[in-house]
Amino acid sequence: MAEQEAEQEHEHVRVAVIGSGFGGLGAAVRLRREGITDFVVLERASAVGGTWRDNSYPGCACDVPSHLYSFSFAPNPDWPRTFSGQEKIHDYLEHVADVFRIRPHIRFDSEVKQARWDAEKLWWVVETTRGTLTADVVVSATGPLSDPKVPDIPGLDTFEGKVFHSARWDHDYDLRGKRVAVIGTGASAIQIVPAVQKQVGRLTLFQRTPPWVMPRADRNITRAERWLHRQLPFTTQARRGILWGIRELQVQAFTKRPEELGLVERIARANMHRAVKDPALRAKLTPDYRIGCKRILLSNTYYPALAQPNVDVVASGLKEVRGNTLVAADGSEAEVDAIVFGTGFHVTDMPIADRIVGADGDTLMQSWKNGMKALRGATAAGFPNFMTVIGPNTGLGNSSMILMIESQLNYLADYMRQLHVLGGRVALTPRESAVTGWNNRVQDRMKRTVWNTGGCDSWYLDANGVNTTVWPGTTTEFRQATRHVDVGEYEVVRPAPAAPAAKKSAPTKTARTKKKVEAA
Ligand code: NAP
């Protein structure tokens, strides 16, 4: 009786989606299109947009063209530039939330503290900062680039100036005339450097590994083009198709023939030589690994900014902070007023994984302690009715993640259909053998890719050096692999017949393993 009352205290939904970035909003639209309206989107912040809400640093923009970096079901004929800035992309996501009537489903300021699988009830108990609810299915769309990573630098707490991460920019802090250190040379840092170089007094860039930087073919999309896209929507589709096709061909070199990327290196080298005349600076900026091994960066302004007299490049990582002095691994020192960390995100150790507790009481983090793996990038063994959008090995080195997200949403839609067809209280849990088989095939293909053979260390690789982030194929291949849920890859779990004696006690591991498992 008490148990029943407790049940009724909590709202129950068919699906709880975590996050309202591209992945979460996309999942919400897709669920509605499947006729499912009994769902919530749990968002820890007070606005939608995910990484495009949080990253507001100066110069923030996407390096995938907007006509490709947008939902296929929500084309925007009015993209103002070939590569849009953060504000326009964030506006686009706000617009998607409105047009597809997602807002009533969103619970803002609701951070998921824990989601625990209840093996008796066959549902998830989701505790948020604004209360608890239960859900048949949980879709984690928190994204791999949501939790900033600041390296553990000895002495950082002794620094008296301003410190912030690229994804938590403090717009109230005035950089004008200040001595600023930028740590890192990834996609974020190389946009920040040219955006702030003119206003700061002195900029010191701590570069642990030089990136390959290609020219960026960025331009305004003309009024005539936009008019055409509005009048003839198929021209927007055609533009997207061309952008997609080029990248689909390029991926062959990344995944199968890294040796052919030498030609691309020549273009990147010329990009540097055009702007940097000082041979000593060129030497510092020249990478010693194959292009593509780390993410290829695009910029026409990064190298020119580094050649300015108020910029120093320290070709060494930040090792220590002593008061206001920053010390690099090579011993060089710089005194600064502010530190900007462009040091990336917790990608292979996503904090949300620590908050998802599966059927055996282990967290997803524990279950992934030897490396992240999920069936078709989505479902993990031991975690019934749980799916990750942008899960393990779904990242891309050279194309639009929105393509991968939409493939995963196809999989989600079919997953919901399969649950409906099975009927009643039911869960699907991926077979260990299916997850392992999928992962072995992915890792086998990974062996010859540039990410594994290019001679660099990158965030694509986890602590064991295994690439658990990138998809080693074309987006077409992934789309095919996720078109339908193969129910044979899952066990179908139904509630065990009620045993009066067992009813009052909390579920034990033995009770859980007694759950009736049907062969699919
Ligand atoms: P990131 O690619 O992970 O780069 C982190 C940088 O910090 C690396 O250069 C790393 O050096 C450096 N670093 C770490 N610890 C350091 C230390 N102690 N001293 C000096 N340097 C240190 O992070 P991110 O730039 O934020 O980009 C993350 C991802 O976000 C990108 O790969 C991309 O997918 C996405 N993004 C995209 C865009 C875009 O579309 N234009 C813009 C921003 C971000 P090592 O290389 O030696 O590890």
Q: What is the pLDDT of residue 4?
A: 46
Task: For residue 302, report the distance from its CA to the centre of ligand 1, in Å.
Answer: 14
Using CB atoms within 10 Å of the CB of residue 195, give its burial: 0 to 12 exposed, 13 to 18 middle, 19+ buried: middle
Tokens of 240: 């997207």
pLDDT in tens, 43-78: 999 999 999 999 999 999 999 999 999 999 999 999
Task: For residue 342, report the distance from its CA to the centre of ligand 1, in Å.
Answer: 6
Q: Give the contacts of 471 (CB within 8 A, at least 6 positions apart).
A: 377, 393, 394, 395, 396, 404, 442, 478
Nearest CA to ligand 1 atom 43: 188
Instruction: Decide the pairing of beta strands 427-430 and 490-494.
Output: antiparallel
Q: What is the pLDDT of residue 2?
A: 40
Q: 18-30 burial by CB neighbour count: b if 16+ within 10 A, else e?
A: bbbbbbbbbbbbb
Mean pLDDT (the chain, rounded): 93
Task: For residue 15, report the distance from its CA to the centre of ligand 1, in Å.
Answer: 34
Instruction: Decide the pairing of beta strands 112-118 and 123-128.
Output: antiparallel
Nearest CA to ligand 1 atom 19: 317
Task: For residue 197, report the distance from its CA to the centre of ligand 1, in Å.
Answer: 18
Residues pairing with 11 in the sheet: 133
Instruction: Report how far residue 301's alpha carbon sits from residue 195's, in angstroms, rounded to the nearest whole number.
Output: 9
Q: Judge contact between 189 and 317, C-beta under 8 A.
A: no
Percent of the chain's residues with pLDDT above 90: 88
Lowest mean pLDDT among 9-13, 23-27, 427-431: 9-13
Does the pLDDT of residue 31 top 80, yes or no? yes
Q: What is the pLDDT of residue 254?
A: 87
Q: 203-219 burial by CB neighbour count: b if 16+ within 10 A, else e?
A: bbbbbbbbbbbbebebe
The H or E element spanning position 338 is strand 338-341
Q: Judge contact between 310 and 203, C-beta under 8 A.
A: yes
Cα three-residue angle 210-142-154, rounded to 5 degrees: 45
Instruction: Decide the pairing of beta strands 325-328 and 333-335.
Output: antiparallel
Q: What is the pLDDT of residue 503?
A: 45
Task: For residue 493, report the distance from its CA to the centre of ligand 1, in Å.
Answer: 42
Pocket test for ligand 1, best of 53, 208, 339, 349 (most atoms within 8 A of CB): 208
Does the pLDDT of residue 113 top 60, yes or no? yes
Instruction: Report how far residue 460's alpha carbon sits from residue 258's, in angstroms, rounded to the nearest whole number.
Output: 16
Do 2-147+346-493 and 156-219+229-341 have matching folds?
A: yes
Tokens of 325: 């002095």
Task: For residue 84, report the distance from its CA to the centre of ligand 1, in Å.
Answer: 20
Task: For residue 184, report the distance from its CA to the centre of ligand 1, in Å.
Answer: 6
Pocket test for ligand 1, best of 343, 390, 469 (most atoms within 8 A of CB): 343
pLDDT in tens, 152-168: 999 999 999 999 999 99
Q: What is the DSSP string of 358-373?
A: -TTS-BHHHHTTT---
Q: Which atom of ligand 1 is nearest to the CA of 328?
A: 19
Task: For residue 487, report the distance from its CA to the centre of ligand 1, in Å.
Answer: 39
Binding pocket residue ranges, ligand 1, CB within 6 Å: 61-63, 145, 151, 166, 183-189, 191, 206, 208-209, 295, 317-318, 342-345, 459
Confidence bin at 509 (pLDDT 50/70/90): very low
Confidence bin at 511 (pLDDT 50/70/90): very low
Average pLDDT over residues 227-255: 95
Q: Give the contacts of 212 (CB within 8 A, at least 6 positions apart).
A: 265, 268, 287, 291, 292, 294, 296, 297
Q: Judge contact between 431 and 489, C-beta under 8 A.
A: yes
Q: Which CATH architecture has domain 2-147+346-493?
A: 3-Layer(bba) Sandwich (3.50)
Average pLDDT over residues 228-238: 97
Q: Give the contacts of 67 (CB within 8 A, at least 6 positions apart).
A: 75, 76, 79, 236, 239, 240, 243
Average pLDDT over residues 128-155: 96
Average pLDDT over residues 386-400: 95
In terms of pLDDT, which residue wins out, 327 or 398? 327
Cα three-residue angle 421-510-505, rounded to 5 degrees: 90
Confidence bin at 398 (pLDDT 50/70/90): confident
Full 3-state SS string of 462-487: CCCCCECCECCCCHHHHHHHCCCCCH
Instruction: Report how far residue 356's alpha carbon sits from residue 367's, in angstroms, rounded to the nearest whole number.
Output: 10
Q: What is the pLDDT of residue 500?
A: 66
Average pLDDT over residues 196-214: 98
Does the pLDDT of residue 505 top 60, yes or no? no
Nearest CA to ligand 1 atom 37: 187
Tokens of 174: 């005035």
Q: Give the contacts of 39 (CB within 8 A, at least 6 positions apart).
A: 13, 14, 15, 16, 17, 28, 31, 105
The CATH classification number of 156-219+229-341 equals: 3.50.50.60
Q: Which atom of ligand 1 is nearest to the CA of 347?
A: 3
Nearest CA to ligand 1 atom 39: 62
Q: What is the pLDDT of residue 359?
A: 97
Q: What is the pLDDT of residue 496?
A: 84
Q: Which atom of ligand 1 is nearest to the CA of 167?
A: 26
pLDDT in tens, 465-497: 999 999 999 999 999 999 999 999 999 999 988
Q: Which atom of ligand 1 is nearest to the CA of 456?
A: 46
Tokens of 356: 């998802």
How many CB atoms within 10 Å of residue 53? Answer: 20
Q: Give the contacts of 213 (CB within 8 A, at least 6 positions apart).
A: 190, 268, 271, 272, 296, 297, 298, 299, 302, 303
Average pLDDT over residues 298-305: 97
Instruction: Report how far residue 430's alpha carbon sits from residue 271's, in angstroms, rounded to the nearest whole number.
Output: 48
pLDDT in tens, 37-51: 999 999 999 999 999
Nearest CA to ligand 1 atom 24: 344
Task: For residue 189, report the distance from its CA to the centre of ligand 1, in Å.
Answer: 7
Pocket test for ligand 1, best of 188, 319, 467 (most atoms within 8 A of CB): 188
Q: What is the DSSP string of 217-277?
A: ---BPPHHHHHHHHH-HHHHHHHHHHHHHHHHHHHHHHHT-GGGGHHHHHHHHHHHHHH--
Nearest CA to ligand 1 atom 14: 343
Q: Which atom of ligand 1 is nearest to the CA of 153?
A: 18
Residues pairing with 313 in the sheet: 205
Q: What is the pLDDT of residue 119?
A: 96
Q: Which atom of ligand 1 is nearest to the CA of 458?
A: 48
Q: 150: left (phi > 0), else alpha (psi -120 to 50), else beta?
A: beta
- In the chain, where are the structural domains located? 2-147+346-493, 156-219+229-341
Q: What is the pLDDT of residue 9?
A: 72
